[in-house]
């Protein structure tokens, strides 16, 4: 084999060896990817924090909206309170059990999603500020991440819009 041919063989091999390594993800038979307790814990902690922030923003937005002074206003604010309370309980249960696979944690995730479902309808049915909508989208993203981990139904409107055909 000529020097030229050996060089041509060594170049791809050298490139292959110096290529950036791709991180491997752990898998098990039940899921595409294993989600660690700390991953779920981060989402739960973020959900606790952001649900309180959202509740405050939502209360202000509703007070300055077309539904101000109506029975719907009181119901809507109550839904935001319910979500925040459920998210706080989820954090308490999650950190108390120290096991993301504990049935009590899954049950509280389900209750939190149920509370969020009511608020999701309010957000979909009424126009609020772009800032409040962004806050809700972030909160809903965390809720749907938990729904996926626990194999529960995500909040409606979670799927990205399909491109026109």
Q: Tell me if 5 is assigned to some domain.
A: no
Number of domains in the chain: 1
Is the pTM of the predicted complex or chain greater than 0.75? no
Terminal C-alpha separation, the chain: 55
**Considering just the CA atoms, what is the radius of gyration of the chain in Å?**
23
Question: CA 136 → CA 7, 51, 108, 110, 117, distances in Å?
Answer: 58, 9, 20, 18, 12
Beta carbons of 48 and 41 less than 8 angstroms apart: no
Distance (Å, whole) CA 117 – CA 48: 16
Which domain CATH number covers 131? 1.20.120
Residue 25 within any structural domain of the chain: no
Its domain, for residue 111, covers: 37-149
Q: What is the pLDDT of residues 67-124, one digit of tens each?
A: 655 676 677 788 889 999 999 999 999 988 777 778 899 999 999 999 999 889 888 8
3-state secondary structure of 26: coil
Residue 59 lies in a domain: yes
Q: Following DSSP, what letter does each residue of 92-152 receive, concatenated? A: HHHHHH--TT-HHHHHHHHHHHHHHHHHHHHHHHS---HHHHHHHHHHHHHHHHHHHHTT-
Write the pLDDT tens digit of every residue in 118-152. Answer: 889 888 887 888 999 999 999 999 999 999 988 99
């Amino acid at each position: 084999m000529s020097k030229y041919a050996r060089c041509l063989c060594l170049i791809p091999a050298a490139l292959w060896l110096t290529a950036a390594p791709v991180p491997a993800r752990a898998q098990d038979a039940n899921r595409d990817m294993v989600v660690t307790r700390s991953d779920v814990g981060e989402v739960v902690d973020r959900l606790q924090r952001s649900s309180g922030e959202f509740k405050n923003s939502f209360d202000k937005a509703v007070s300055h909206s077309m539904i101000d002074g109506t029975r719907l206003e009181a119901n809507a604010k109550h839904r935001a309170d319910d979500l925040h309370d459920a998210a706080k309980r989820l954090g308490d249960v999650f950190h108390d059990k120290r096991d993301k696979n504990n049935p009590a944690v899954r049950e509280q995730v389900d209750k939190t999603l149920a509370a969020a479902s009511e608020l999701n309808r309010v957000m979909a049915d009424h126009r609020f500020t772009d800032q409040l909508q962004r806050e809700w989208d972030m909160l809903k993203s965390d809720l749907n991440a938990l729904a996926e981990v626990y194999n529960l139904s995500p909040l409606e409107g979670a799927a990205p819009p399909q491109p026109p055909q």
